[in-house]
Amino acid sequence: MGDFMKILKKIIRIFLVFLLLIGLFCGGVYLFIRFSPKIMINSANNITLYDKSDQAFFTGSEKGEWTSLDEISPHLIQATIYTEDKKFYKHFGFDIPRIVKALCSNILTQSHSQGASTITQQYAKNLFLDFDKTWKRKFLEAWYTLRIEVNYSKDEILEGYLNTINYGHGNYGIENASHFYFNKDSSDLSLAEASILAGIPKSPSNYSPLVSLDAAKERQLLVLNSLVRNKIITEEEKEKAYQEELHFVGEEKEDLLTSIHYYQDAIMKELENIPTIPSDYSDIGGLKIYTNFQYDVQKNLEKTVQETFPDDSKLQTAVVVMDPSNGGIMALIGGRDYQESSYNRATDSKRQVGSTMKPYLYYSALENGFTSSTAFVSERTTFPLSEGKTYSPRNYNDVYGDKAISMATAIAYSDNIYAVKTHLFLGTESLIQVARRVGIEEKLDEVPSLPLGTSEINIMHMASGYAAFANTGYKVDAHLINKVEDGSGNVLYEHTSEKELVLNPSLVYILNNMLTAPYDPLYVDYNYPTAISLSGKLTHTYALKSGTTSGDNWNIGFNQKVLCAVWVGYDDNTELVKSDYKYAQNIWYKTVEAYEEGMSNEDVWYEKPNNVVGVLVEPISGKPANDGDEHVKLMYFLKGTEPNGDEPVFDEIENP
């Protein structure tokens, strides 16, 4: 018994020492925080985005919009507390029992459905520019939670939270949300209105009444039931509030663009990769971000996308509209409906690019002595490879000319046989070298099928690569952000447009003119150009290339004023059917034509370099035109490389 008591006393002493050490540690942390500079919590979500004309198109919770707690409806305050964190006034930033309960529930259900973040923790999370889920980030959020709790009263924390939280549709803070949804001050919100708004922050893309009224009402009922359980309102008051018919002003806003959130998300993604931008708002007083965004271009793009697809279609799209002179992204869409899917396919996805890979190949061919008239025979071909292997590509619909065709004709028809013959003739590394020069960084395999687009590339990268053709040879980086300032106006970052000449401008001019062939009626022969349906719809000249795989459809086209890249496909790689291939083309031409409305064609197309000459040719064969030719076209060549009619077809050269 004596030995047991000795052991017990020793355990008690160790426990007391442990408690003392914990107390000293907590006291030290408290004193350290107490006498450290205060976190600027009113800078949470304090972010303003400016368009190309330096007009603000998105404003977060600026201090000027701040509403004091006593000016906010008690209904909203109570609904928020008893929905998000009913022990808010009792804990010290962390609700430990709630955390333990959530952990147990998630373990039992093998999910992450139960959350336990307090209002202070959510507020701390809003001090960061991104939402990483690393252990380092979790530690920082916990540290900021403590700093907020030590330095601010509960009322100050709640006030800040309500002034910075996201209520959907770009509305941060209760005052912005109250005016957006109900056109009234937050002090005048009724119980019905307040319970709707209090339910939104958990998931603005799901619980906004403008997205799904049914989901918003379901969430509202949860909020009201929480108030009943905590004896804040009666059952009768709950029923009256739930049954109250509400009128949402936001539905009537003609300029409400949901697609703008894809652009905003892309800005934040780009911001994360700028090393001079701190990862939190705590000591910079917010951010002013100056971008290339053009509202009218985005508005037209959203309208075009909405009108293009059938309502019941599961097809998705990504679109990038760029100023090719500097790589500035004017508009961007990452999906058909941000409220249904916030996944940004423009910035985050990689898809097989199909024949949009071919212009890199044909530029390489021009660089290696090919011309617009260089001919290969279009016919069913099986290519012998190493180790006894073979490769048998096929043209779309198995259409072949069974005769020699020019490079321009191969572009018009997107002839796969011509492309593979060129690819193997030049060497499989030749295409890759050009792609790398214009900025394509994805993995590209040296395989015969590479010019047919079997590699997966991001649409932003493809747009950036094509920009080198659009601006006659200069490599530019696709970017949304031009400049970033902190809350005091100090410049934290400025994009420098260092254009590097990576392609020969004269060869690019020749290639760009060949890329008008896909919609040129002069190329109608044994086949039709791939975009012949556009021949009567385009009022300006564009270079254009389409690309198709079993699950992807691309259209990338440009002139010197605008570049537009469009991808259409299914997220789950479901095979496209024939009728699906029209959508990317329709989005592309409507977007570029709307952008260049009122511009003259002379202003958008390219001036011929002095060392380039135009020659009248029969377009299918590429040979000099004769009086008896049904079709004659002006095609371009470097001086000294003009066709004379005696050029051999490459297939006929022995051991080429």
Annotated catalytic residues are 84, 355
Answer for the pair 304, 587: CB distance below 8 angstroms, yes or no.
yes
Give residue 250's identity as a one-letter amino acid code: G
Q: Is 624 helix (H, G, I), strand (E, B) or coil?
A: strand
Which residues lie closer than 8 Å to 204 by C-beta, 6 or more apart?
166, 167, 168, 169
Q: Is 382 helix (H, G, I), strand (E, B) or coil?
A: coil
User: Is the CA virtual torsion 571, 572, 573, 579 positive or negative?
Assistant: negative
Residue in the block written with tokens 């060129």: 422
Phi, psi of 542 (to 5 degrees): -135, 150
Beta-bridge partner residues of 150: none
Answer for the pair 544, 556: CB distance below 8 angstroms, yes or no.
yes
Question: How many Cβ atoms from other residues are within 10 Å of residue 129's Cβ?
Answer: 16
Answer for the pair 345, 372: CB distance below 8 angstroms, yes or no.
no
Residue in the block written with tokens 């001086």: 639
Q: Distance between terminal CA atoms of the chain?
A: 100
The 8 Å CB, 24+ separation contacts for 50-56 are 50/288, 50/289, 50/290, 50/291, 51/291, 51/292, 51/293, 51/294, 51/295, 52/291, 52/292, 52/293, 52/294, 52/328, 52/330, 54/290
47-50 vs 287-291, strand pairing mode: parallel
Give whole-number Cα distances, 383 to 404, 417, 428, 448, in Å: 17, 10, 14, 9
Residue in the block written with tokens 């009943």: 228
Helices (H), 35-153: 74-84, 96-109, 119-125, 135-151
Give residue 554's identity as a one-letter amino acid code: W
Question: How many Cβ atoms from other residues are within 10 Å of residue 229's Cβ?
Answer: 10
Phi, psi of 575 (to 5 degrees): -65, 140
Give whole-number Cα distances, 324 to 124, 320, 475, 499, 548, in Å: 40, 11, 10, 11, 24
DSSP letters for 294-333: -HHHHHHHHHHHHHHS-TT---EEEEEEEETTTTEEEEEE
Which residues lie closer than 8 Å to 14 by C-beta, 6 or more apart?
none
Cα–Cα distance measured from residue 327 to residue 321, given in angstroms and rounded to the nearest whole number? 10
Give whole-number Cα distances, 174 to 45, 125, 569, in Å: 13, 18, 39
User: Is the CA virtual torsion 220, 222, 228, 231 positive or negative?
Assistant: negative
